C-alpha cells in the first residue's frame, strides 16, 4: 500500500480553506483531510494544496495541437501529440484535460478520434502527464455567422451518423461537443449526444433566447466561452447569453485571459450564476508557451503578438493562456482563492460529469497541485504520485 501525507499546508478543498491542513493519501485516493499538522508527512509550510486544474477546452500548447496533428492523417501522430500535450499541461498544474478539436473535415475528426482512443489506452499503462479525458469536439456543427476563428470550409449541419462514427472510432472517448442549437437537426442531435453521455455545450452560435432554451430543455448543459463567438445580449433580444445565465443547469465557460473578457464582465457573470456554474477554460492554442510569431489553427493562419492570437483580419483566435495564469488573473480581478480554484477544478469536473475528481475530499482521486505563495506551480500529484519530481 502506498501512503503519502502532505502537512502544514494551506489546503483549499475548494469549499473551505484549512490552515494548517493535512491531506492523507492512500493508493492514489484521498483518505483524510483535517486541520492540524502531523510529523512524518511532507512539510508544506508556506505552500498551498489545491485540487489540480481541469481544462475542458484547450486546443494545444508548446508546438502541439490535436487538430493540427490529425490533419497529418496519422492516428499515431495524434497519440504522440496528446501525450506531449499532457506533459506540457502538467507543468501548469493541470491534472486532467479535454483535447479540443476545431472545425475540420470528417476524415480529420475521425483521425483525432482514433488518436485519442490510443492515447487514453497508453495512459492506462504509463501516465507521464495530465490525464486525457477524451475529446471535446468544438464544431463542426456551428453557425457560419459566428464562426470566429473556425475554418468555414468545414462547417456543416449536425450529423448524427458522423457522431456515431467518432464515438465508435474513439471507443467512447468523446466527452463533449460544442454546437450551435439553431441549426437544422440540432435538437435531435443534442438528445442523441446526451443519450451517449456526451455533454453538450452551446457555442459559435447566433441562437435567440428561445432557440437556446429549447436546446437546454433538450439536454445542453454548458455554454462554450460565454460571450465569445455568440449572439450578444441585447435588451430586446436577450439571446443565448441570457438563456445560459438564467438556467440553473447550465455551466458557463469563461476564458479568463483578461483579453477575451473584461474583468467587469467576469464579475457580472458570477453575480448572475454564482461561482457554482463558472468553468474557467484556456482555449489555448499551439503557440502557448512559445514566442510570438505565425502559427496555424485548423488550417487558418494565426498571428501571435504580445501573446494575443488573431487571424489576419483581427479576429481573436484562441489564447496562449495557461491554467496557473488564469488563476492569477482571477485573483487580480478580486476573486477569493477558494472561488477561483473552484471554477478551475470542482466546477469543470461537474460540468462534464467526471466523478470523484476536482476536490480534496475523502474518496476523491488524489490529483493535486501544490502552489507557492505567488501562485506558481511547485509540484503536481496525480493518483497520489508526485509527477514533477
Ligand atoms: C478557437 C476559437 O474558436 N476561439 C474563439 C474564437 O473563434 C473567437 O473569434 C474569439 C473571440 O470571439 P468574439 O470576437 O466574439 O469575442 O473567441 C475565441 O478565441
The ligand 1 atom nearest the CA atom of 297: 1
DSSP 8-class letter at 152:
G
Q: CB–CB of 55/281 below 8 Å?
A: yes
According to DSSP, the β-strands at 377-382 and 385-386 are antiparallel
Rounded CA gap, 166 and 135, in Å? 10
Q: Does the structure's ipTM exceed the value 0.90?
A: yes
Q: Give the model's pLDDT for residue 1.
A: 72
Q: Using CA of residue 200, residue 56, residue 154, residue 318, what is the dihedral sign?
A: positive
User: Rounded to whole angstroms, how far apart are CA atoms 363 and 355?
Assistant: 10
Among 55, 141, 148, 285, which residue has the most ligand 1 atoms within 8 Å of its CB, making it the best to mutate? 148
Identify the DSSP state of 375.
S
Mutate to test the pocket of ligand 1, among 68, 152, 229, 284 (most ligand atoms within 8 A of CB): 229
Would you list the domain boundaries of the chain? Answer: 3-50+370-386, 53-355
Residue nearest to atom 2 of ligand 1 (CA): 318
**Which of the listed residues 55, 66, 145, 149 should we mutate to test ligand 1's pocket, taking the one with most ligand atoms within 8 A of CB?**
149
| CA within 13 Å, CB half, 133 | 27
| All cell numbers assigned to 290 | 512559445
Q: pLDDT at position 389, please?
A: 83
Whether 67 and 302 have beta carbons less than 8 Å apart is answered as no
Per-residue pLDDT, 275: 98
- 214 near 185, Cβ under 8 Å? no
pLDDT value, residue 330: 98
Each residue's pLDDT tens digit in the chain (389 positions)?
799 999 999 999 999 999 999 999 999 999 999 999 999 899 999 999 999 999 999 999 999 999 999 999 999 999 999 999 999 999 999 999 999 999 999 999 999 999 999 999 999 999 999 999 999 999 999 999 999 999 999 999 999 999 999 999 999 999 999 999 999 999 999 999 999 999 999 999 999 999 999 999 999 999 999 999 999 999 999 999 999 999 999 999 999 999 999 999 999 999 999 999 999 999 999 999 999 999 999 999 999 999 999 999 999 999 999 999 999 999 999 999 999 999 999 999 999 999 999 999 999 999 999 999 999 999 999 999 999 98
Give residue 306 CA to ligand 1 midpoint distance, Å.
Answer: 17
Copy the grid coordinates of residue 210.
428561445
Which residue's CA lies nearest to atom 8 of ligand 1?
148
| CATH superfamily, domain at 53-355 | Metal-dependent hydrolases (3.20.20.140)
Determine whether 55 is an active site residue. no
Residue 40's pLDDT is what?
87
Instruction: Tell me whether strands 251-255 and 278-281 are parallel, antiparallel or unpaired.
Output: parallel
N- to C-terminal Cα separation, the chain: 20
Q: For residues 224 and 195, what is the distance between their CA atoms, to the nearest angstrom?
A: 20
Single out the residue of 138, 20, 51, 143 nearest to residue 361, CA to CA.
51
Q: How far apart are CA 240 and CA 115, in angstroms?
A: 33
Q: How far is the CA of 317 from the centre of ligand 1 (A)?
A: 5
Give the whole-angstrom CA distance, residue 111 versus residue 124.
20
For residue 315, which atom of ligand 1 is closest to its CA? 9
How many angstroms separate the CA atoms of 34 and 15, rounded? 13
Q: Whole-angstrom Cα distance, residue 382 to residue 389?
A: 12
State residue 154 phi and psi, 5-degree precision. -110, 5
Residues with CB under 6 A from ligand 1: 102, 148-150, 225, 228-229, 260, 283, 315-318
CATH 2.30.40.10 fits 3-50+370-386, yes or no: yes
Task: Identify the three-state secondary structure at position 316.
Answer: strand
What integer pLDDT is reported at residue 209 of this predicted model?
98
Q: Cα(201) to centroid of ligand 1, in Å?
A: 15
Ligand 1 atom 3: residue of nearest CA: 149
Which atom, in ligand 1's list, is nearest to the CA of 100?
A: 1
CA of 281 from ligand 1 middle (Å) equals 13
Asked if residue 204 lies in contact with residue 180, where contact means CB atoms within 8 angstroms, the answer is yes
Neighbours of 17 (CB within 10 A): 16
Minimum CA distance residue for ligand 1 atom 10: 316
Give the closest residue (by CA) to ligand 1 atom 17.
228
Query: For residue 227, how far is its CA from the centre of ligand 1 (angstroms)?
Result: 9
Report the separation in Å between the CA atom of 316 and the middle of ligand 1, taken as the mean of its atom positions.
5
CB neighbour burial string for 126-155, b if at least 16 within 10 angstroms, e if fewer: ebebbbbbbbbbbbbbbbeebbbbbbeebb
Catalytic residue among 283, 324, 339, 367: 283
**Residue 300 C-alpha to ligand 1 middle, in angstroms?**
13
Sign of the alpha-carbon dihedral angle for 282, 342, 50, 131: negative
Q: Ligand 1 pocket test: which of 317, 319, 321 has the largest number of ligand atoms within 8 Å of its C-beta?
A: 317
Amino acid at each position: 500500500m502506498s501512503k503519502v501525507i502532505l502537512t502544514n499546508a494551506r489546503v483549499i478543498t475548494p469549499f473551505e480553506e484549512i490552515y494548517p491542513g493535512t491531506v492523507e493519501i492512500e493508493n492514489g485516493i484521498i483518505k483524510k483531510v483535517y486541520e492540524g499538522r502531523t510529523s512524518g508527512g511532507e512539510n508544506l509550510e508556506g505552500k498551498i494544496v489545491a485540487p489540480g486544474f481541469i481544462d475542458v477546452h484547450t486546443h494545444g500548447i508548446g508546438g502541439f495541437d490535436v487538430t493540427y496533428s490529425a490533419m497529418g492523417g496519422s492516428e499515431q501522430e495524434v497519440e504522440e501529440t496528446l501525450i506531449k500535450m499532457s506533459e506540457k499541461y502538467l507543468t501548469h498544474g493541470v491534472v486532467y484535460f479535454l483535447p479540443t478539436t476545431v472545425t475540420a473535415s470528417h476524415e480529420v475528426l475521425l483521425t483525432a478520434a482514433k488518436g485519442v482512443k490510443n492515447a487514453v489506452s497508453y495512459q492506462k499503462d504509463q501516465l507521464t502527464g495530465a490525464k486525457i479525458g477524451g475529446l471535446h469536439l468544438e464544431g463542426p456543427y456551428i453557425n457560419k455567422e459566428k464562426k470566429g476563428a473556425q475554418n468555414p470550409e468545414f462547417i456543416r449541419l449536425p450529423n448524427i451518423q458522423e457522431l456515431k462514427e467518432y464515438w465508435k472510432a474513439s471507443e467512447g472517448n468523446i466527452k463533449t461537443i460544442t454546437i450551435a442549437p439553431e441549426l437544422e437537426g440540432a435538437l435531435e442531435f443534442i438528445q442523441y449526444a446526451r443519450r451517449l453521455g456526451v455533454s453538450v455545450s452551446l457555442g459559435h452560435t447566433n441562437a435567440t433566447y428561445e432557440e437556446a432554451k429549447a436546446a437546454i430543455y433538450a439536454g445542453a448543459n454548458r455554454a462554450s466561452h460565454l460571450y465569445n463567438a455568440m449572439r450578444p445580449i441585447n435588451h430586446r433580444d436577450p439571446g443565448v447569453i441570457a438563456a445560459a445565465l438564467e438556467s440553473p443547469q447550465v455551466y458557463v465557460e469563461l476564458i479568463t485571459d483578461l483579453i477575451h473578457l473584461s474583468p467587469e464582465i467576469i464579475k457580472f457573470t458570477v453575480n448572475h450564476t454564482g461561482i457554482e456554474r463558472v468553468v474557467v477554460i484556456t482555449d489555448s492554442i499551439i503557440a502557448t508557451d512559445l514566442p510570438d510569431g505565425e502559427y496555424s489553427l485548423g488550417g487558418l493562419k494565426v498571428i501571435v503578438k504580445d501573446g494575443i492570437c488573431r487571424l489576419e483580419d483581427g479576429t481573436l483566435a484562441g489564447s496562449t493562456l495557461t491554467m496557473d495564469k488564469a488563476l492569477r488573473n482571477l485573483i487580480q480581478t478580486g476573486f477569493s482563492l477558494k472561488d477561483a480554484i473552484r471554477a478551475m477544478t470542482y466546477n469543470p469536473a461537474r460540468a462534464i460529469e467526471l466523478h470523484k475528481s476536482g476536490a480534496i475530499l475523502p474518496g476523491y482521486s488524489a490529483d493535486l497541485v501544490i502552489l507557492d505563495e505567488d501562485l506558481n506551480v511547485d509540484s503536481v500529484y496525480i493518483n497520489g504520485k508526485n509527477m514533477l519530481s
